[in-house]
Amino acid sequence: MAAQRSPPRARERERDRPGALASGNGQVHSWALVTSHALDTAWGIAKGSVMLAVSLLVATLCYFRRLHFHLGHRLKWWSGYLQRKFKRNLSVEAEVDLLSYCAREWKGDTPRAKLMRKAYEELFWRYHIKCVRQVKRDNYDALRSVLFQIFSQGLSFPSWMREKDIVKLPEKLLFSQGCNWIQQYSFGPENYTGSNVFGKLRKCVELLKTQWTEFSGIRDYHKRGSMCNILFSDAILEYKLYEALKFIMLYQVTEVYEQMKMKKVIPSLFRLLFSRETSSDPLSFMMNHLNSVGDTCGLEQIDMFILGYALEVKIKVFRLFKFNSRDFEVCYPEEPLREWPQISLLTENDRHYHVPVF
């Protein structure tokens, strides 16, 4: 049987179908390309925007971080400045528990730390010292520790000071005893030497006399304590008082030296002083020792003897680094008169001193 032939129109449609399919595929491909290109363009724009935003965010964070650091630094500086300006900078600090202070300062298992802890325990249990006042560490701290005790206890003038006007002592050394070398006296770190030495010394000694008179006249312990806090937060006044004490020591050395030249009996500590080449007379004592006090060095042991003698006080010092030896507890001077009052200090190295509180 012969196959049925397709109608002419059907055959034409069949001939045209492949071209139509190809045309449709091309349109789809074109739309895909356009869409892909649009998406790539949009992603590129979005990616650039995101990178720009991230960069701006990072720059902003870095800026604020720097700003925070700068403001924090300035705030810290201003805080310290205001504290220094409005808070008293006490050179003799408030009382702290003795054993707590020891535990904070002497940690570890070194032989020296163990020795110090035992020495502090000895002060606490045997000598009943419960607290300590830390004293500012400089080359005046021995003088500061002694004067603080004298003022806080309200001790009276030494007997020889009550008999003489100590304000006139600088002129007395010059005109009565011919000590024109006093013009080489040096005021600690100021290192002042000049024509106005006598005027400066007179003002220092006058301040010492005024302050000592005022403190010794106050009977209330707490009021003396409050006044000490005021006085020992004024560096300028302190400096003048310590220079006055140095001059009082020099005056006593000069007086005893004159007695020695007259073949009078003098205390043994002064014989020891004058036996040294560097302090064979008052001038050498001043030039080689006293002028450096407050500047490059503090008081030596023999100076502590002279200070106690000049102020007529028995200075009892607990030398903690000498624990378990006969030098753990010493007195300056060693043979004070019975009626002299006693003050106590403690030291860890014979250079810096603190005030024990019983």
What are the φ/ψ torsions at residue 164 (nearest 5 degrees)?
-125, 155
pLDDT exceeds 60 at position 255: yes
pLDDT per residue as tens digits for the range 281-329: 999 999 999 999 999 999 999 999 999 999 999 999 999 999 999 999 9
pLDDT exceeds 50 at position 229: yes
Low-confidence winner among 22-26, 75-79, 337-341 (lowest mean pLDDT): 22-26
pLDDT band at residue 51, thresholds of 50, 70 and 90? confident
pLDDT exceeds 90 at position 245: yes
Phi-psi region of 335 (alpha: psi -120 to 50; beta: other; left: phi over 0): beta
Question: For residues 201 and 185, is the Cβ–Cβ distance under 8 A?
Answer: yes
- Give me the residue spans of the domains in the chain: 138-300
Phi-psi region of 198 (alpha: psi -120 to 50; beta: other; left: phi over 0): alpha
* Interatomic CA distance for residues 102 and 118, integer angstroms: 10
Name the residue with higher pLDDT: 337 or 175.
Answer: 175
Question: For residues 221 and 213, is the Cβ–Cβ distance under 8 A?
Answer: no
For the chain, give the number of residues.
358
Percentage with pLDDT > 70 across the chain:
83
Question: For residues 303 and 312, is the Cβ–Cβ distance under 8 A?
Answer: no
Name the residue with higher pLDDT: 43 or 253.
Answer: 253
Residue 87 is predicted with a pLDDT of 47
Task: For residue 309, count CB atoms less than 10 angstroms from its CB and return exposed for 0-12, middle for 13-18, buried for 19 or more.
Answer: buried
- Residue 2 is given by DSSP the state P
Residue 149 is predicted with a pLDDT of 97
Average pLDDT over every residue of 195-205: 89
User: What residue type is 70 in one-letter code?
Assistant: H
Angle between helices 141-153 and 197-216 (to 10 degrees): 40
| Joined tokens for residue 142 | 């021995």
pLDDT per residue as tens digits for the range 79-106: 555 444 444 579 999 999 999 999 999 9
Q: In 3D, which of 232, 211, 225, 205 has the Cα closest to residue 145?
A: 232
